[in-house]
Amino acid sequence: MKKIILAISTIFLGFSALFPKAALAHCPLCVAGAGVGLTLSRLLGIDDSITGIWLGAFLGAMSFWATRALGRRNKIFFHPVVDLIIYILVIVSTIWSFYKFNLVVKHGDIFGYDKLTFGMVIGGALFYIQDFINDAIIKKRQKAFFPYQRIVVGLGVIVFLSVGMYVLINFYI
Task: Going residue by residue through the chain, which has 173 residues, state the pLDDT in tens, using 9 for 90 and above.
Answer: 656 654 565 555 454 444 444 444 455 666 566 667 667 777 888 888 888 898 899 899 888 888 888 888 887 777 778 888 889 999 999 889 888 887 777 777 888 888 888 999 999 999 999 988 888 888 888 888 888 888 888 888 999 999 999 898 888 76
Would you list the domain boundaries of the chain?
25-171
**pTM (2 d.p.):** 0.73
**Mean pLDDT of all residues belonging to the chain:** 79
Q: Which residues of 143-168 are buried (b: 16+ CB within 10 A; e: fewer)?
A: eeeeeeebeebbeebbeebbeebeee
How does pLDDT run across 77-109, given as a tens digit for each residue? 777 788 888 899 999 998 898 888 877 777 778
